[in-house]
Amino acid sequence: MIPFNFDYYRPDTLEEATRAYRELDSRSLEPVYYSGGSEIISMARVHNIYTKAVIDLKAIPECNVLEFREDRLFIGSSVTLSRISEENPYPLLSKACSRIADHTMQCRITIGGNLGGTIIYREASLPLLLSDCEVIVTSSGSLSRVPLAEVFRERLLLPRGEFIVQFVIRKEYAAVPYVHVKKTRNEKIDYPLVSVAALKKDGRIRLALSGVCPFPFRSADIEDRLNDMNDSWGIRIDKALEYLPAPILNDISGSNGYRKFVLKNTLLNTLRTLEAMH
Amino acid sequence: MEAGTVIGSSVERKEAWDKVTGVAKYTDDFIVPGILHAKLLTSPYAHAVIKSIDAAQAIKSPGVKAIITGSDFPILCGVVLEDHPPVATDKVRYFGEPVAIVVANSEREAMHAVKLIKVAYEPLPVVGSVGDAVKSHAPLIHENLAAYKHAVKGIYPEPNTNIADRISIRKGNMPEGWALSEVVAEAVFKLPKSDHIAMETRNARAEIHADGEVLISTSSQSPYSVKKMLSQYFSIDEGKVNVKTPLVGGGFGGKSPVQLELLAYMASKSVGGRLVKIANSREEDIVTSPCKLGLEARIKLGASRSGLLKAAEMTFLVDTGAYADIGPRLAKSIAIDCTGPYNIDNVWCDSLCVYTNHPYSTSFRSFGHVSYTFCIERAIDKLAKMLGMDPLEFRLRNALGPGQTTPTQVKTTLSNLGNLTACLKKLKHDIKWYEGAVIEAGNGKIRAKGISCLWKTSDSPTDSVSGIFLTFNTDGSINLNSGVVEIGPGMKTTLAQILAEKMKMDLSRIHIKLEVDTQVSPEHWKTVASMTTFMAGRATLRAAEDLMKQLRSLAALVMRCPPEDLDIAEEKVFLKQDPTIYVAFKDLVHGYKYPNGNAVEGQILGRGSFIMSHITQLDKETGKGKPGPAWTVGAQAVEVEFDKTELTYRILKACTVLDAGKVINPKTARGLITGGMSMGLGMGSREAFQYDSEGRVLNTSLRTYKVMHIGEEPEYIVDFVETPQIDAPYGARGISEHGIIGMPAALANALSAASGAELDELPITPEYIWKIKGGQA
């Protein structure tokens, strides 16, 4: 039960969506864009989200594309996690999406929602951060294409009223060697203690993490240490951990000490597996 | 189904088609126009004085009809000890405790208004564990413990402490026992509170008619308790309270206590008797409604060098949480079976029911047995290890057998106990014990097996009753009416099987009333304690005898022969010496009509009643007494694959061999036991309330409170031994709860063997193993 009334808008075009936002915002209705809606439902029923108007992006054709065009893969922000994992255009992303929540929820959660939501893990971002992803965003009446890293640092940083329409990834990333590992407390379907996505491109390891800090991240410093061929794996990992961007999470899923233990083991397995791939 | 073969057959449960097609209706599925909705404001503190409640703004909120606070109904409730205001009055004692009820036209309006109530609290020191609760000078959770009314006999609260009850077992001679003990194992165990997580959250409706009649609909395992308690607490004639319970979506003991029914009644009363419903959200179901007990225990076990158990000393601290509810009886249930199914001549046990500022406990599948069994079975494994004995052989050597005594000094027989030795031998084969308990599996992995024994008796009130009414349809088929609640295990189908077998008729010709209506269904004490087949089954057999006597008597008149020459089968009363001479049921059951139109006798109505016999209260000093009619024993095993580096594990196999007495419905029995095993593995591996430093439960939703999911289940092996319980219907013992009992212990024994760490707390997460192996936070 959502314990408040709100207006529902379902624009058919990008232009209608942004116009609706401006208008509702000017009337102080605190509008929110959404697509799957799982977070709104689950947060609103416990009084953690409040809005007087929602704008449903599901009907906008551009938000629903999932296709290769020339050397690029285009993924609409309203595409569900289950559709990505089933159609499997980018195996590392499919793997990450298939480990977020359970299958019922994967049929509802969208990739845009996973990045834009309030739950801190945003695991669908990891493969995107590794693949120099660009995003097409609505920007004051027109569309612009910018690197994901510019609008997503720890979380989505778009100006009010803007939203991601599509993610654009170079096709070559669909074929690089990769590893994805998600470690949880003791249950397959749970928030991550550590979620690691890694790939090898041009002889270099790229790696992004979720669950370790209160946000997902990819770190150049950490990658430099992991790619330092002069050191053993163990030393590389120890050095890399000195560059974590925030203290390790300490919560009911796992203590920081245990998370560090899991992180080290997982990194070691990930890197060894990746090394053996060509 | 052929008449006479129905016991022992995997018949479909009668409600199966309604359930799988979604037609089956549960309490909250009935949509009633004009119904009002009640929502709770609950406490954000685990222990605090309520300074003031300001509902002025909330009452003006749209759609709000009434707001109820504790002072509106200043009563104390409790099934054992009356310590519990239905809505908190002067202070709150747990996080999630009801502080106010809002009644409104819609659920939305009620939820909105709840947020407008302003409560001022003054936090009190929180008692966060039973260990802290029993310390001298611990903050008192119930200052007036001595003044509380006792709802039952044989309960001993200790004034000016947090101890609600203490049960003592004194058997044999302890100094002698320790003198004979050449090897002694001692350890401390801790088990957290957790929740039932029934699929259907608890909910109730109440309505008060103009003539004073109170109608309650509730998702309950105890509709007759609802009736009696409402009558008692609110001074309503018992006959004016009628309680209805349709199908219930899982109980596991959590729907045995009376809670929401009281709140629904109070809500209805506050709006002039209008129909009001109250339904828990999952979060409320987890913390506001009662949960599973927590336990801390110290166990000391002694054995001779030859491997015979000689002495046991144990202290159990049952975490009953903020209110006693059935907690004192849980402590008793632990005490009566504290040794596990082993022969120990010298036993000292103190089992305490202790208050804390945790959500309050109630019955949970196995009534405390899964909790203490974890402790005793871990201790048994430790002792076997010290003796250098195979843990299965050690258990075989000490298995309780006929002619010995239980902790409460009941003499055991094959009938009242069953055959544990046979269970262990079968388990040994089924789990391939000969492979070895620990095997290197390569890739840094170990495969390991652990075992546990189990036993349980009912610990029901000494005068528990069950009744059955039988009526005939004109075609000769029978309607069976019982107060048993259908909570999932197909109990009424079992009763129909028992009746069909006895009457030697086709099962499809027996119709069951699935819903319970306390006004028309004869009382069945509570649908708990794995006692339904025994109690309601016995009542069914008596009702069948009653029908058959009447049928023979009328048929004798019609057939002009003595009744003893008549037998009954396939809906006919026939001459034993010539079965072709008979009268069909359909010509008898609504009166017999002679060719000239004269009629005699009228409807044949059957009734059967059962009351527990020979059960006694326990002696206060020694615990001597008979707690239940009989035991069910069994043996269980778990096989895991353990990763030596990451300290993670997978559960590969789980096995149960149970002495069922007689398996009435093999597939249902397997399903029941498998369900229990799955729950036990969840409890062993992940389920636990987690608190912050102020005693607030942190994992109140299924996002963070995890149960076993499909896809994580191991291979389940379920096998039976059949040693009849002579006084039970067709020899069948209670089996509904038992699948859970030894699972956490068997899992812990397997993982302790695999990891080399002594794992004495639950749940066993990889982080816990890491910590025990020296991991630093």
- Give per-residue pLDDT as tens, B370-379: 999 999 999 9
A47–B contact, CB cutoff 8 A: yes
Q: Write out chain A residues lying below 8 Å of B709, CB-based.
A: 102, 187-189
d(CA A86, nearest CA chain B) in Å: 19
Question: Nearest-CA neighbor of B604 among B623, B619, B591?
Answer: B591
How many Cα atoms sit within 13 Å of B72 on the Cβ side? 20
End-to-end Cα distance, chain A: 51
Asked if this assembly's ipTM is beyond 0.90, the reply is yes
Tens digit of pLDDT for each residue in B427-484?
Answer: 999 999 999 999 999 999 999 999 999 999 998 899 999 999 999 999 999 999 999 9
Return the percentage of chain B with pLDDT > 90, whole number: 98
Q: Write out chain A residues lying below 8 Å of B775, CB-based.
A: 257-258, 261
Q: Which one of A41, A121, A185 makes the best mutation probe of the B interface by having the most chain B beta carbons within 10 Å?
A: A185
Burial of residue B586 (number of CB atoms within 10 Å: 0-12, 13-18, 19+): middle
Secondary structure of residue A183 in the 3-state scheme: strand
Euclidean distance between CA atoms B418 and B635, whole angstroms:
12
Query: Is A102's CB within 8 Å of B709's CB?
Result: yes
Tens digit of pLDDT for each residue in B1-51?
Answer: 455 689 999 999 999 999 999 999 999 999 999 999 999 999 999 999 999
Euclidean distance between CA atoms B607 and B479, whole angstroms:
12
d(CA B171, nearest CA chain A) in Å: 42
Q: Write out chain B residues lying below 8 Å of A262, CB-based.
A: 646
B767–A contact, CB cutoff 8 A: yes
| Cβ–Cβ under 8 Å, residues B145 and B157 | yes
B115–A contact, CB cutoff 8 A: yes
User: Closest to A261 (Cβ–Cβ): which among B685, B703, B770?
Assistant: B770
Task: For chain B, count helices (H), then strands (E).
Answer: 18, 32
| Cβ–Cβ under 8 Å, residues B492 and B484 | yes
Give the DSSP H or E segment for B102.
Answer: strand B98-104
pLDDT at residue B139 above 90? yes
Residues 59-78 of A with CB under 8 A from B: none
What is the CA angle B71-B76-B77, rounded to 5?
130
Q: Which one of B687, B698, B751, B767 makes the best mutation probe of the A interface by having the most chain A beta carbons within 10 Å?
A: B767
Query: Assign residue B301 a region: left if phi > 0, alpha if psi is -120 to 50, beta otherwise?
Result: beta
Both structure tokens of B260: 């929401």
d(CA B51, nearest CA chain A) in Å: 25
Query: Is B646's CB within 8 Å of A265's CB?
Result: yes
Question: CB under 8 Å to B741, separation ≥6 — which residues?
Answer: B366, B369, B370, B373, B452, B454, B456, B634, B636, B676, B680
d(CA B111, nearest CA chain A) in Å: 6
Please give the full DSSP string across A184-249, using - where no structure is assigned. -SS-SSS--SEEEEEEEETTEEEEEEESSSSS-EE-HHHHHHHT-TTS-HHHHHHHHHTT-SSPPP
Length, in residues, of chain A? 278
Tell me the mean pLDDT in the region B528-547: 96
Count other Cβ atoms within 10 Å, centred on residue B223.
31
Both structure tokens of B143: 């200052």
Decide the pairing of beta strands B203-208 and B276-279. antiparallel
pLDDT at residue B718 above 90? yes
d(CA A257, nearest CA chain B) in Å: 4
d(CA A158, nearest CA chain B) in Å: 28
Q: Which one of A52, A252, A265, A270 makes the best mutation probe of the B interface by having the most chain B beta carbons within 10 Å?
A: A252
Query: Is B771's CB within 8 Å of A186's CB?
Result: no
Burial of residue B695 (number of CB atoms within 10 Å: 0-12, 13-18, 19+): buried
| Cβ–Cβ under 8 Å, residues B257 and B65 | no
Beta strand extents in chain A (DSSP E only): 7-9, 32-34, 53-56, 66-69, 72-76, 134-139, 142-147, 152-153, 155-156, 164-170, 178-183, 194-201, 204-210, 217-218
B137–A contact, CB cutoff 8 A: no
- B121-125: long-range pairs with CB below 8 Å, 24+: B121/B43, B121/B44, B121/B45, B121/B48, B121/B49, B121/B50, B121/B51, B121/B92, B122/B48, B122/B49, B122/B51, B123/B45, B123/B47, B123/B48, B123/B694, B124/B47, B124/B48, B124/B49, B124/B91, B125/B47
Name the DSSP class of A61.
G
Tell me the mean pLDDT in the region B696-710: 94
How many Cα atoms sit within 13 Å of B721 on the Cβ side? 25
Closest alpha carbon within chain B to A262: B646
Query: Is A188's CB within 8 Å of B645's CB?
Result: no
Secondary structure of residue B656 in the 3-state scheme: strand
Q: What is the pLDDT of residue B4?
A: 60
A229–B contact, CB cutoff 8 A: no
A254–B contact, CB cutoff 8 A: yes
| Cβ–Cβ under 8 Å, residues B78 and B135 | no
Q: Write out chain A residues lying below 8 Å of B685, CB-based.
A: 186
Name the DSSP class of B743.
H
Q: Write out chain A residues lying below 8 Å of B712, CB-based.
A: 187-188
User: Closest to A187 (Cβ–Cβ): which among B112, B686, B698?
Assistant: B686
Euclidean distance between CA atoms B666 and B696, whole angstroms:
44
d(CA B418, nearest CA chain A) in Å: 37
Question: Nearest-CA neighbor of A197 among A121, A117, A255, A144?
Answer: A121
| Dihedral over alpha carbons B440, B446, B447, B453 (to 10 degrees) | 120
A235–B contact, CB cutoff 8 A: no
Tell me the mean pLDDT in the region B731-759: 98
Sheet holding A194-201, edge to edge: A178-183, A194-201, A204-210, A217-218
Angstrom CA distances, B413 to A66, A221, B336, B397, B399, stand at 71, 73, 17, 18, 13
User: Closest to A188 (Cβ–Cβ): which among B701, B709, B766?
Assistant: B709
Euclidean distance between CA atoms A109 and B766, whole angstroms:
29
Q: Mean pLDDT of all residues in chain B?
A: 97
Is this prediction's pTM over 0.90? yes
d(CA A88, nearest CA chain B) in Å: 22
Q: What is the pLDDT of residue B777?
A: 67
A46–B contact, CB cutoff 8 A: yes
Question: Nearest-CA neighbor of B244 among B575, B516, B542, B649?
Answer: B516
| Cβ–Cβ under 8 Å, residues B716 and B710 | no
pLDDT at residue B211 above 90? yes
Both structure tokens of B354: 């202790």
B136–A contact, CB cutoff 8 A: no
Q: Which one of A42, A186, A269 makes the best mutation probe of the B interface by having the most chain B beta carbons within 10 Å?
A: A186
Query: Is A257's CB within 8 Å of B699's CB?
Result: no
Q: What is the pLDDT of residue B3?
A: 52
Q: What is the pLDDT of residue B1?
A: 47
Task: Calculate the CA A156 to chain-centre distance.
Answer: 10
Euclidean distance between CA atoms B568 and B566, whole angstroms:
7
User: Closest to B706 (Cβ–Cβ): which among A45, A190, A265?
Assistant: A190
Euclidean distance between CA atoms B153 and B204, whole angstroms:
30
A203–B contact, CB cutoff 8 A: no
Count other Cβ atoms within 10 Å, centred on residue B562.
9
Tell me the mean pLDDT in the region B241-258: 98
**Identity of the amino acid at B408:** T
User: Sign of torsion, CA A32 A35 A39 A45?
Assistant: positive
Closest alpha carbon within chain A to B697: A252
Please give the full DSSP string across B262-307, using - where no structure is assigned. HHHHHHHHHTTT--EEEE--HHHHHHTS-BBPEEEEEEEEEE-TTS
Q: Write out chain A residues lying below 8 Å of B763, CB-based.
A: 186
Tell me the mean pLDDT in the region B200-205: 98
Both structure tokens of B341: 């199914």
Euclidean distance between CA atoms B384 and B307, whole angstroms:
8
Whether omega before B763 lies within 30 degrees of 0, making that bond cis, reads yes
B711–A contact, CB cutoff 8 A: yes
User: Closest to B765 (Cβ–Cβ): which among A5, A186, A257?
Assistant: A186
Tens digit of pLDDT for each residue in B566-593?
Answer: 999 999 999 999 999 999 999 999 999 9
| Cβ–Cβ under 8 Å, residues B467 and B546 | no
Question: What is the residue whose two structure tokens read 């109608």?
Answer: B215
Phi, psi (degrees; rounded to nearest 5) at B127: -90, 105
* Residues linked to residue B189 through DSSP beta bridges, in sequence order: B297
| Contacts A–B by Cβ distance under 8 A | 62
B260-270 and B223-233 helices, crossing angle to 10°: 50
User: Closest to A252 (Cβ–Cβ): which among B108, B698, B763?
Assistant: B698
Q: Write out chain B residues lying below 8 Å of A211, CB-based.
A: none
Please give the full DSSP string across B612-653, using - where no structure is assigned. --S--PPPTTT--S--SS--EEEEEEEEEEEETTT--EEEEE
